[in-house]
Amino acid sequence: MSSDQETVFLSTPDVTVTRSRFVVPGQTFAMSGITSVSRGIIQPSRRGAVICIALGAFGLLAAFTGSWQPAVAGGILFAIGLIWLSRLKPTHLVKLNTAGAETRAFASKDEDAVDEIVDALNDAIITRG
C-alpha cells in the first residue's frame, strides 16, 4: 500500500472514518486530536406521555359516575399516552474526548450504527498508534 492511500475503517452515506479523519454531517475531526471515544445515551422525556396517561385514567374513572363521554375521551387519551410512551426511543451518541474537552460528535436512534462508528473509531485510533 502506498503512503498516500488512506485506510478507510467505515464509509456510510453520513459517516466516514479513516486513519486520519472522522467525517460526520457538518464536521470533520482530525483523528490525531482524539484521545478516546465512548458511547452515550440521552433518554427521551416521558413527561408528556405520562401526563396523557394520567389524564386518560381520570377520564376512565368517570365511567363509575355513569357519565360515558368523559370515559370515552379518557380511554382515547389513555391509549394515545400508551402508544406515545411505547414509541419513545433513546438517542445514542458518539462522544469524542480530546485534550481540551468532550464533544458529542454524532447522534442517532440506531444503537447498532453508533456501535459500528465507535468500533471503527477505536480501530482507527489503534492503528494510528
Digit-coded pLDDT (tens) for 61-81? 888 887 788 889 999 999 999
Q: Domain check: are 80 and 96 in the same one?
A: no
Q: In which region does residue 56 sit, left (phi positive, over 0), alpha (psi from -120 to 50) or beta (all else)?
A: alpha
Q: Domain check: are 77 and 60 in the same one?
A: yes
- Supply 13's cell numbers: 452515506
How high is the pLDDT of residue 45?
A: 96
Q: Domain check: are 37 and 64 in the same one?
A: no
Q: Domain check: are 121 and 62 in the same one?
A: no
* Beta carbons of 89 and 108 less than 8 angstroms apart: no
The CATH code of the domain that includes 20 is 2.30.29
* Boundaries of domain holding 115: 8-43+92-128
> Based on the structure, what is the number of domains in the chain?
2
Q: Domain check: are 29 and 57 in the same one?
A: no
* Beta carbons of 94 and 41 less than 8 angstroms apart: no
Q: Domain check: are 38 and 99 in the same one?
A: yes
Q: Where are the alpha helices (DSSP H) in the chain?
A: 47-61, 68-87, 111-128
Q: Is residue 1 domain-resident?
A: no
Q: Domain check: are 14 and 77 in the same one?
A: no
Give yes or no for residue 128 having a pLDDT over 80.
Answer: no
